[in-house]
Chain A
Amino acid sequence: MSAIAAYRARPMSAERLGRVFWRGLIYVLTVVLAVIFTFPFFWMVSSSVKPPSEIMAMPPKWIPSTIVLSSYVSPFTNLPFLLFYRNTVFVTLMGMLGVLLSSSLVAFAFARMRWPGRDKFFILMLATLMVPNHVTLIPTYVFYSKLDWINTFLPLLVPEWTGSPFIIFLMRQYMMTIPLEMDDAARIDGCGWFRLYSRIIVPLSWPVIGVAAIYSFTYHWNAFERPLIYLNRLELFTVPLGMAVLKSRYSTDFGAMMAMATVSIIPVLIVFFLAQRYFIQGVVVSGVKG
């Protein structure tokens, strides 16, 4: 707004007027879209502090008449939600770490190296994404249960530590935008392939690693299907599973569900807010820009 005010102070040329108009348009558009995008979140938070009789009111009551905080307390007394949070944090961080380490390496091989069968294998990798999960669910379950991995975090983490096709594809696309001269220069300096990967390509791919980290984090944080199938014991439950236990066939503790969802989202939002600056703007990608 101050920028606009500054412009106002001076007599406006047609060009300036145009610019003010564009800036105004950008702000209006951004704000309108932001409101639409945050709507369900807003409803979720407001439902978590509403008296139960207002949750399903129509027309919707966006602002509760009184603030009720019991939804934030009761789940912790009936279920070990603290443990669920710790499990979720563990699975999320380990899954994220694994997928970043393995996928960046594989993506590097796909994007920067020449090896026989590379392109065919790449298509094969993408093809695995095209098989609907529902048909592989049972054979995969049987496989993991033969390994005695049911009721462990292994079925959730091993596929990450061996590289996820989605993330590999994502990283490959980005790595391919880095000029090839970088590689040649490094190789002439005597840098081996692994050093090229770890010292040159990974630092230059920082923005996409950030995106991959956030994707992976979000995926594991919200994951429901796979934890549901592979985790039976309460002490292994993650937050989404715990939330689902608040729902039974005939009734749902909506307030508690929304409260737990809010509690699980807010830290992520803070992390995202801090992280996005770091990988989107903070890093000077000198190699590319210079």
Chain B
Amino acid sequence: MVKVFARRRFLAAGVGVLGTALVAACGQSAAPTSAPAAAPKPTEAPKPAAAATTAPAPAATTAPAAAATTAPAAAATAAPTQAPAQAAAGAPSPTNTPRPSLTVQGKGKTELLWQMSASDFWIAGTAKVLPTLLDKSEKIGKVTLQPTPDDWQNKLVAAMVAGNAPDVFDMWGDIMPPYVERGQVVDFEPLVKSDMKPEDIKDFYEWQWRDFVMPWLNNIRFGMPRYVNIMFTWYNKDLFDKAGVKYPTNDWTHDDYAEAAKKLAVKDASGKVTQAGLRYPVNSWDRYWYKPIIWGGHTVDPNDNTKAVFGEEKALAAFEWSRKLEWDDKAMLNPLDIQGQDSTLMFAAQRYAMNEEGIYPFEMDNAIQGKFRWAYAHTPKGPTGQRKVLGTTDGYAIWKGSKKQDEAWELVKWASGPINQLEVVVKAAGRVPIRKSVLTQWKDLVPQARPNLKDVNLNVALEAMEQGYPSGREFFKNNIAAQEIIAPALEKVFLTGNTPVSYLKEIADKVTAAQKGGTR
């Protein structure tokens, strides 16, 4: 109701101001001296209902007196009488329009706010499935979904400071440390121990379950998994056939990978690359850290998270692999060529033959629409024979300041439970679920929903989970300080070029130095 009143008050204000302005205009007013005093009041905006009530009055002389006596208190009572004016002004009247049903009603008393960074179809799907929880829950009364676009973190911080942050919100590996360090999220570990059965916990993937806890952050379990994204190599079969390159196999190494990329790159007469062999999010550390590992190195010293080791030989060899492919062989896309754009749409536009990225089959089908044949492959093994990629720790967290943590826990548990995973994550969004028991259904349901996805080798997801090779990223102790130094350096090497990877040696030292503290 507050919202309705707010709108009405504004309409009242608008009408009032117009009315007063007209009446008070030069030459029509019986008592011009009082007119100036009447004018500024309506423009005072939020509480001008008093002016509205006097609007029809014939003489402006009454305006100041009426306004003086009524003031803000009158606003609430005056507002409803302005309802006809609202219709006349053609403004939205919330009562007449069917409300989008993002508020789902239950039996209990508590109202929960669930902020969700997701696309339209995901949010709509959640609203549809939520009654399966709310019809049973004794405690939760109402859940309001708050869809929020990409740039939602500023809003979250502001709301945390103001004390009205949502009860449940998104949290994932890459963005989590500052919130966890500042104790802004509820530690799920004790709740999991007291409230979940061991066989239930076994239904999650071991590596993902493990990586929701950070030993260096007081062993806090910062979230419950929402879905999982794993890096695979997507390849365009038509372009492979055209270039006469054999499709990727499970024993592909990074040498094979680079060879294929070189053969798949297409150059025009002047030597410009019109179609890259491979696209890889080289300048995104969150997506890069695993390459040094499969080369036998690390980015962060496993025994000391204040020490950067990506300047060591093996790690540098991994960087050199990418640098050479991009600048010497001209077979890999410059990361800036995709800035602000969409790697799925660019794959659909055949800007590259291979893309090392996450797994979102529905979106890929939307973009490609069966125009060419393509499939997923495991990202090749490194020189050490090891396979490793980023598997995300996308989850939901509960705000530490929430006064409804019990109810929120019930909601989050449900979100990572089998019903939501099947109905929303799999059926509505086509994403990989975080439960083993749902994963096989995902593999069957996705091609059923989209016949184009029959031959894209969805099996890779099952195999990756079986082998357990994905994992969450490596973190520095002060990850943000590290990031601030690393990001520009990667741009120097991969975006502008002309910089040897040995440059990263000094960068690693700088990162280590910055871990000692003192930076702001």
**Is the pairing of A and B real?**
yes
- In the bound assembly, the distance between CA atoms of A152 and B154 in angstroms comes to 19
- In the bound assembly, the distance between CA atoms of A156 and B166 in angstroms comes to 21
Q: Is the CB of B102 within 8 A of A192?
A: no
Find A83's partner among B100, B117, B158 (CB 8 Å cutoff). B100
Nearest CB on A from B364, distance (A): 8
Interface window among B91-99, B323-331, B411-419, B433-441: B91-99
* Chain B residue nearest to A157 in the complex (CB): B10
B151 in the interface (beta carbon within 8 A): yes
Find B345's partner among A55, A161, A199, A234 (CB 8 Å cutoff). A55
- In the bound assembly, the distance between CA atoms of A158 and B36 in angstroms comes to 22
Find B155's partner among A160, A190, A194, A229 (CB 8 Å cutoff). A229
Q: Mark A154-166, 1 if CB is under 8 A from B, else 0.
A: 1001101111000
B32 in the interface (beta carbon within 8 A): yes
B88 in the interface (beta carbon within 8 A): no
Nearest CB on A from B172, distance (A): 9
Q: Mark B268-292, 1 if CB is under 8 A from A, else 0.
A: 0000001000000000000000000
Q: Is the CB of A199 within 8 A of B27?
A: yes
Q: Which residues of B contact A97 (CB under 8 A)?
A: 14, 17
- In the bound assembly, the distance between CA atoms of A198 and B113 in angstroms comes to 48
Q: Which residues of A contact B155 (CB under 8 A)?
A: 228-229
B13 in the interface (beta carbon within 8 A): yes
- In the bound assembly, the distance between CA atoms of A158 and B35 in angstroms comes to 23
B146 in the interface (beta carbon within 8 A): yes
Find A195's partner among B13, B35, B122, B367 (CB 8 Å cutoff). B35
B245 in the interface (beta carbon within 8 A): no
Q: Is the CB of B35 within 8 A of A192?
A: yes
* Chain A residue nearest to B123 in the complex (CB): A245
Interface window among B39-47, B312-320, B485-493: B39-47
Nearest CB on B from A25, distance (A): 35
* Chain A residue nearest to B39 in the complex (CB): A194
Q: Is the CB of A199 within 8 A of B25?
A: yes
Q: Is the CB of A250 within 8 A of B45?
A: no
A67 in the interface (beta carbon within 8 A): no
Q: Mark B340-369, 1 if CB is under 8 A from A, else 0.
A: 011011101111000000101001001111
- In the bound assembly, the distance between CA atoms of A79 and B3 in angstroms comes to 20
Q: Is the CB of A138 within 8 A of B274?
A: no
Q: Which residues of A contact B304 (CB under 8 A)?
A: none
Q: Mark A184-195, 1 if CB is under 8 A from B, else 0.
A: 000000111111
Q: Is the CB of B120 within 8 A of A199?
A: no
- In the bound assembly, the distance between CA atoms of A249 and B91 in angstroms comes to 34
- In the bound assembly, the distance between CA atoms of A249 and B151 in angstroms comes to 10
Max count, chain B CB within 10 A of own CB: residue among A89, A98, A241: A98
Q: Which residues of A contact B144 (CB under 8 A)?
A: 233
Given contacts A138-B161, A247-B149, contact A90 B371 (CB under 8 A): no
A36 in the interface (beta carbon within 8 A): no
- In the bound assembly, the distance between CA atoms of A86 and B93 in angstroms comes to 9
Q: Is the CB of A87 within 8 A of B43?
A: no
Q: Mark A243-287, 1 if CB is under 8 A from B, else 0.
A: 011111111111000000000000000000000000000000000
Given contacts A105-B40, A141-B162, contact A245 B147 (CB under 8 A): yes
Nearest CB on B from A113, distance (A): 11
Find B119's partner among A148, A234, A248 (CB 8 Å cutoff). A248
Max count, chain A CB within 10 A of own CB: residue among B2, B32, B35, B342: B342
Q: Which residues of A contact B36 (CB under 8 A)?
A: 192-194
- In the bound assembly, the distance between CA atoms of A97 and B15 in angstroms comes to 10
Q: Is the CB of B45 within 8 A of A137?
A: no
A223 in the interface (beta carbon within 8 A): no
Q: Which residues of B contact A192 (CB under 8 A)?
A: 26, 32-33, 35-36
Q: Mark A216-247, 1 if CB is under 8 A from B, else 0.
A: 00000000000011001111110001001111
Q: Is the CB of A162 within 8 A of B10?
A: no
A142 in the interface (beta carbon within 8 A): yes
B115 in the interface (beta carbon within 8 A): yes
Given contacts A58-B274, A195-B35, contact A51 B14 (CB under 8 A): no
Q: Which residues of A contact B504 (CB under 8 A)?
A: none
* Chain A residue nearest to B351 in the complex (CB): A58
Q: Which residues of A contact B148 (CB under 8 A)?
A: 228, 232
- In the bound assembly, the distance between CA atoms of A102 and B117 in angstroms comes to 38
Q: Which residues of A contact B45 (CB under 8 A)?
A: 98, 102, 157-158, 160-162
Q: Which range holds the interface residue count of chain B? A: 35 or more
Q: Which residues of B contact A254 (CB under 8 A)?
A: 342, 345
Q: Is the CB of A247 within 8 A of B119?
A: yes
Nearest CB on B from A96, distance (A): 10
Q: Which residues of A contact B57 (CB under 8 A)?
A: none
A128 in the interface (beta carbon within 8 A): no
Q: Which residues of A contact B350 (CB under 8 A)?
A: 53, 57
Q: Is the CB of A234 within 8 A of B147?
A: yes
Q: Is the CB of A56 within 8 A of B164?
A: no
- In the bound assembly, the distance between CA atoms of A158 and B9 in angstroms comes to 11
Q: Is the CB of B149 within 8 A of A195?
A: no
Given contacts A53-B371, A101-B17, A142-B161, contact A250 B229 (CB under 8 A): yes
Q: Which residues of B contact A161 (CB under 8 A)?
A: 13, 43-46
- In the bound assembly, the distance between CA atoms of A241 and B7 in angstroms comes to 19
- In the bound assembly, the distance between CA atoms of A141 and B154 in angstroms comes to 11
- In the bound assembly, the distance between CA atoms of A141 and B21 in angstroms comes to 33
Q: Is the CB of A248 within 8 A of B118?
A: yes
Q: Which of A162-178 contact B (CB under 8 A)?
A: 162-163
- In the bound assembly, the distance between CA atoms of A162 and B13 in angstroms comes to 12
- In the bound assembly, the distance between CA atoms of A94 and B17 in angstroms comes to 12
Q: Which residues of B contact A78 (CB under 8 A)?
A: 120-121, 124
Find A251's partner among B10, B21, B363 (CB 8 Å cutoff). B363
- In the bound assembly, the distance between CA atoms of A81 and B227 in angstroms comes to 27
Q: Mark B114-147, 1 if CB is under 8 A from A, else 0.
A: 0101111111100000000000000000001111
* Chain B residue nearest to A148 in the complex (CB): B2
B150 in the interface (beta carbon within 8 A): yes
Q: Is the CB of B32 within 8 A of A137?
A: no
Q: Is the CB of A142 within 8 A of B162?
A: yes
- What are the 5 closest A-B residue pairs judged by CB atoms, nearest first? A161-B45, A195-B26, A244-B149, A199-B26, A194-B36
List 18 A–B pairs whose Cβ atoms lie within 8 Å, in order of A's numbering.
Answer: A56-B348, A58-B274, A75-B120, A89-B91, A98-B14, A105-B43, A138-B158, A146-B162, A152-B2, A161-B45, A194-B36, A198-B21, A198-B25, A229-B155, A234-B146, A234-B147, A245-B120, A246-B119
Extra contacts besides A89-B92, A234-B145 (17): CB < 8 Å: A56-B351, A78-B124, A86-B91, A90-B92, A153-B6, A158-B45, A161-B46, A192-B36, A198-B21, A229-B154, A229-B155, A234-B100, A234-B146, A234-B147, A244-B149, A248-B122, A252-B345
